[in-house]
Structure 1
Amino acid sequence: MSLPSIQRVFLQSVAESDPDGHFVEVDNIQTYYRIAIPQYHKTLLQNQQPLPYEPHKPVILCLHQILGNQYTWRFQMQPLADATGCHVISYDRVCFGFTERPVQWEEGKNPYTQVAAVEFAVQLLIQLGYGMKKVVFVGVSSGSSISCSIAIKYPHLVHSLILIGPSLRPEDQGPPPMACHILGTAPGRLFLKAALYQYLPLLSLYHDINAVPDFDTMVRPCYRVPLTLPNFYESVSWLFKYFIPLEILPNKHILQQFPILYLVGNEDKFTNINIHKEVFEELILDAPENARIEYHVFPNCGHLPQEEKSQEVVDLMIDFLRRLNI
């Protein structure tokens, strides 16, 4: 069902200040995304030359955290594209950023469930013309759980996984069930409205905001502007109302097939470093001898290493992918 055109027009008008941002329709939802291509591809396009056909090159898809948006990948996209020769895509997940927030949907097609988020990412790749490509999934926090769920359900699509501050256990993927129930009600929606504009971005996700460039002048506004867009609080409330965690670790035998880079901050207040160690040990338990699963801890870093340790994250990602012959 098409959404009211006024919401689409409004979102487009707000997003048009970003020349690198684009919209594509995925499952009848206008979806905001950015794409970074290698610099030499840009040169070819400027000279009106065809892009090289590189079937061996995967595409890299970045998935942000709950209450985040694609802006969180601002430091990684172009360096990754230039270093690997891959196209790098990030997008605003349904409910966040400049992507539409449906107010009604057909039975069985609720876009606010975790299962729907898995299918949505796959459909986005198809709509953008990358349906035949292998994919490097890069996810932070809940974006990691979605990435892993795609690998479990659609292993033929996956090249490798880069998991940043991943939330893989059910109890780490979102608020407790009672909190989800409360936030999914009308009073919970009022609480969200009162709290989020004041406290987003959540400072508890960082170890030191001074380590994040332009935090007050750029970062804070880029997280808060989406709060002013149509149906934001309703959609967040629905996200919590219909929240059911994804089952990841019981299917670890599928994940162990793929190269995995697991990156965490040692001062992660959302998912404690000890929990990350336990999850990683569970992830590699009984893995095949040839499994390529790596673990790295960033000192003095919180839940979002891609923002606090942006250069270190880029360097590790590039090194990891180069060792996989990209």
Structure 2
Amino acid sequence: MGTIIRHTFLDSNGIRMHVTDAGRGYPILLCHGFPELWYSWRRQINALAEAGFRVLTPDLRGYGGTDAPEEIEAYVMRELVEDIHELFDALGIDKAGVVGHDWGGALAWQFALRHPERTERVCSLNAPHLAPAPVPPSIALRDAYGLTDKTYYMRHFLEPGVAERELEADVRDTFQKLMRPGKYADAVEAFMTVGDGTSLLGKIGPGETFLSKIDLDTYVRIYKRTGFRGGLSWYRALDLSWEQDKDLPSSEIELPAMLIVAEKDPLLRADLVEQLTRPHVKNLRVERLDCGHWTQQEKPTEVSNLLIDFFGDLRDPSME
């Protein structure tokens, strides 16, 4: 008999959130990245639930079955953190292990920083934890990449409607091109450096996806309904978040933390992610996996085993 995954909708921080709930035991929250869904953790849900944890996987603000407000101001980091804070209240959870990948990793770090009293331990896949930069992110990206033939994708995302039109033109093609194993790191590199500023996907050639037909159909079905605007709004709120948070009193996290980095991720390079994180996280464990950007989907067993090891002693012995 497989793990039973319960789907529910809860009010949190002024929005309606879709969250899955599986297993019983110590709660572990899993936060997805862009462009993903709760579904990106499907393999970890089963493994963690069978190992004796209660596993909670929301569609984050703007994604899937969760509300996607129109205003860019609704996607600043303070609001995203508060979504999780109030979700804990709605679920009756005092404290949990918090895990995130990509944007979800950034959210996991920020939740641990702002609500250490609600965070038992924190784990990020691929995303660094760092102090606010001295200039807004859009300026830092302009200075780093300019408006040349290697315009950075995050700047390309900033104008509403532009990225949506390309990503939504053929949703199946979008996911087949993006979600590829580490040996196709050049596809992620092509996506990152948009070229002449007109194409996110045009330079990506043929290649295999690690998604099964069912997985691909799931992403396509949901994104055809929702589009990509909600997830893109996280990028469009970067400068607003920076303005609000540039004077935070501290960026240091003292909780037990684990950083999982991907050796073949050209977007969030393993050495750089570790280098950026270490000065701000005192109790840090670093693990490396031989994969590309989509870590928990490409290496599901390895990620599940690392999480079980990291959180294992929190389990109720009677459930083992």
- With structure 1 as the length reference, what TM-score do the two structures score? 0.71
For the 8 Å contact 1:142–1:167, the answer to whether it is kept is no
Q: What does residue range 92-111 of structure 1 map to in structure 2 within 5 Å? A: 92-103=59-70, 110-111=73-74
The amino acid that maps onto 2:224 is T
- The answer on 1:26 being equivalent to 2:12 is yes
* Distance verdict in 2 for CA 1:237–1:78, change over 3 Å: closer
What is the CA distance between 1:100 and its match in structure 2? 2.2
The alpha-carbon distance between structure 1 residues 242 and 276, as it changes in their structure 2 partners (threshold 3 A), is closer
Distance 1:239 1:294, change over 3 A: closer
Q: 1:318 to 1:238 in 2, by over 3 A?
A: closer
**Whole-Å separation in 2 of the counterparts to 1:142 and 1:103:** 19
Partner of 1:121: 84
Contact kept? 2:34, 2:231, Cα under 8 Å: no
Residue 278 (1) aligns with residue 275 (2) = yes
Is the Cα–Cα contact under 8 Å of residues 117 and 146 in structure 1 kept in the other structure?
yes
Secondary structure, counterpart of 1:151 in structure 2: helix
CA distance change for structure 1 residues 204 and 325 in 2, over 3 Å: closer, same or farther?
Answer: closer
Q: Is the 8 A contact 1:201 1:224 kept in 2?
A: no
Displacement after TM superposition at 1:267 (Å) = 0.5
1:9-24 aligned at under 5 Å gives the runs 20-24=6-10
1:208 and 1:20 map into 2 onto residues whose CA distance is 35
1:181 positional shift = 7.1
Structure 1 partner of 2:311: 321
Contact 1:137 1:158 in 2 (8 A): yes
Query: What is aligned with 1:229?
Result: 225
Whether the 8 Å contact between 2:176 and 2:209 is mirrored in structure 1 is: no
Percent sequence identity over matched residues?
A: 21
Preserved CA contact (<8 Å) 1:184 1:239 = no
Which residue of structure 2 lines up, in the alignment, with residue 199 of structure 1? Answer: 174
| Equivalent position SS for 1:33 | strand
**In 1, are the aligned partners of 2:8 and 2:20 still within 8 Å (CA)?**
yes
2:36 is matched with: 68
**Are positions 1:304 and 2:279 aligned together?**
no
Per the normalisation by structure 2, the TM-score is: 0.72
Residues 254-286 of structure 1: CA distance to partner in whole angstroms, max 9, x if unpaired?
A: x1x2111111111112211221232244345xx
**CA shift for structure 1 position 297:** 0.6
Query: In the alignment, residue 198 of structure 1 is paired with which amino acid?
Result: D
Q: In structure 2, which of residues 226, 237, 246 is the aligned counterpart of residue 242 of structure 1? A: 237
1:89-140 deviation digits (Å, cap 9, x = unpaired):
0010111122122346xxxx9432222111111111111121xx22100111
Distance 1:37 1:322 in 2: 15
Give the CA deviation at 1:251: 3.8
**Matching of residue 90 in structure 1 with residue 53 in structure 2:** no
The offset of 1:306, in angstroms, is 1.1
Q: How far did 1:195 drift? A: 6.5
Match of 1:264 in 2: 261
SS at match of 1:90: strand
1:196–1:113: structure 2 CA closer, same or farther, 3 Å change rule?
Answer: farther
How far apart in 2 are the matches of 1:206 and 1:142?
19
Aligned CA RMSD, in angstroms, stands at: 3.4
Cα shift at 1:298: 0.9
In structure 2, the CA distance between the partners of 1:234 and 1:321, relative to structure 1 (3 Å rule), is closer
- The one-letter code sitting in structure 2 at the alignment partner of 1:35 is D
Contact 2:126 2:260 in 1 (8 A): yes
Aligned match of 2:21 in 28, 35, 48? 35
8 Å CA contact 2:168–2:224 kept in 1: the answer is no
Post-superposition shift, 1:218? 2.0
Partner of 2:288, secondary structure, is strand
Q: Distance in 1 between matches of 2:73 and 2:268?
A: 28
**1:154 alignment counterpart:** 115
Unaligned segments of structure 1, at least 5 residues: 1-17, 39-56
Gaps of 5+ in 2: 143-151, 185-206
Secondary structure of the equivalent of 2:293? coil
Q: How far apart, CA to CA, are the structure 2 residues paired with 1:31 and 1:295? A: 31
- Residues 133-157 of structure 1: per-residue CA shift (max 9 Å, x gap): 2210011111111111111111111
Measure how far apart 1:243 and its partner are. Answer: 2.7
Contact persistence 2:97–2:311 (CA under 8 A): no
Counterpart Cα distance in 1 of 2:119 and 2:229: 33
Q: 1:167 to 1:67 in 2, by over 3 A?
A: farther
Is the partner of 2:82 in helix, strand or coil?
A: helix
Whether 1:220 and 2:216 are equivalent positions in the alignment is: yes
Aligned-pair distance for 1:225? 2.0
Deviation, 1:204, is 6.1
Contact 1:183 1:189 in 2 (8 A): no
